[in-house]
Structure 1
């Protein structure tokens, strides 16, 4: 009887230690920031802002998934309403870059996450080039010590898009942050993209989105973060 109780105690202790080890070594670091797009439309300045929350996984070097560099996003893509000209979206997808643009982007920020995950590192000029446990943890700790609004270099931005209704299909076109005129017409220019770490609540889905886009599942990988409608 005593031997059985002792064995049970050992099993329980090992289970607690194992659970504690997992809790200590596997966790997420949350980085929440407000992203604001300012667009010059003729003599008017128009803006769209959204608070999103990114969850970066921290795992030990022996974990097979330690090199996952894609943080989970909760929130909705910042959207600028340009009236009859349409809506401008800053998506959660990586931008399409030329070799020269990729080289310039890498000069601006050394970062191993995807574009949306690298944005705060680019804004605060903090290195995000960390894959292993210790350096990834240190990079995020360094980032979270930053404060204040910062301009984001255009070359580090995720994909910018607008929707074009062709034959009743909602297709989107990729936009260059340096040339919005090609899609929206004369006088339209991306003036600034501002990022600021914040504790504000995540911004709800924009009411200006068309009804079809508000439907569950529509464009979820591009405009809607994890677990959103």
Structure 2
């Protein structure tokens, strides 16, 4: 071994303990991350019969420790997935976005919205899992996630807990977007169209992809962009809440926090 190789090996050996110590101080997590996948299914009644659509999304929940937790970061989550949609034929496409309704009412510009229904209808009281009596809150939550993944429950999502629903006058034109009232789909899609039910189901199925085949403009950027051009990056103006919608309302790529 050359002297240069020996020096490099020594550097690596000295660096590993330092990196390990840095991780323990900054993070120090003793609970491994959990991954939860869920399927959101929308069922719509029309004069031509029942139509449905679904999408599988994924959330990774991490449990930081050390200084990271001391600074207030009890959990880290990373969400990946696409909006579910129902093809209503000539009437258009109904999208269940990745945005929660309360986000549209918030002042200013606040990001992607962060909606995820995967655990909303599965209370922790019913899925406790196996955990020691003196377990930490992280361990208790991890046990809950393990139980949900093991049992794979399915439940109907109340209308009050639905994400923002939307449609496009022309799917090729982002600014043709309009919000849809879940209590009155007929106003957006015509007489006889009603929302029958929305369900959430824990699953191991693959994450759904391919929404850009319906919304081709999503291919134009891997980053989030406003549906309405906003070169000044200022909070949207006007009374149209749909102006707050971004690409992230319809797909969250891997790596996006």
1:79-138 CA distance string (max 9 Å, x none): 111112111111111113899xxxxxxxxxxxxx9531xx2322323369xxx6445434
Matching residue within 82, 103, 124 for 1:126: 124
2:248 paired with 1:221 = yes
Any conservation in 2 of the 1:31–1:55 contact (CA below 8 Å)? Answer: yes
Query: What per-residue deviation string (whole Å, max 9, x for no partner) do you get for residues 171-213 of structure 1?
Result: 3222222221121121111111122111111122137514334
2:166 maps to what in 1? 161
SS in 2 for 1:162: strand
1:47-75 residue CA offsets vs partner (Å, 9 max, x unmatched): 11111111123223742351567x32222
Q: For the structure 1 residues 86 and 213, does the alpha-carbon distance in structure 2 shift closer, same or farther, using more than 3 Å as the test? A: farther
Structure 1, unmatched stretches of 5+, are 1-7, 100-112
CA distance in 1, matches of 2:115, 2:211: 22
Structure 1 residues 190 and 227: CA distance shift in structure 2, 3 A: same
**Helix, strand or coil: the match of 1:121?**
coil
Aligned CA distance change for structure 1 residues 13 and 227 (closer, same or farther; 3 Å): closer
Distance in 2 between residues matched to 1:221 and 1:198, nearest whole Å: 23
Unaligned ranges ≥5, structure 2: 1-10, 106-112, 128-136, 226-245
Q: 1:43 to 1:65 in 2, by over 3 A?
A: same
User: How many pairs are equivalent?
Assistant: 201
Choose from 72, 79, 82 the match for 1:76: 82
CA pair 13-75 structure 1, distance change in 2 beyond 3 A: closer
Whether 1:172 and 2:177 are equivalent positions in the alignment is yes
* Residues 59 and 45 of structure 1, relative CA distance in 2, 3 Å threshold: same
How much is the aligned-residue C-alpha RMSD, in angstroms? 3.7
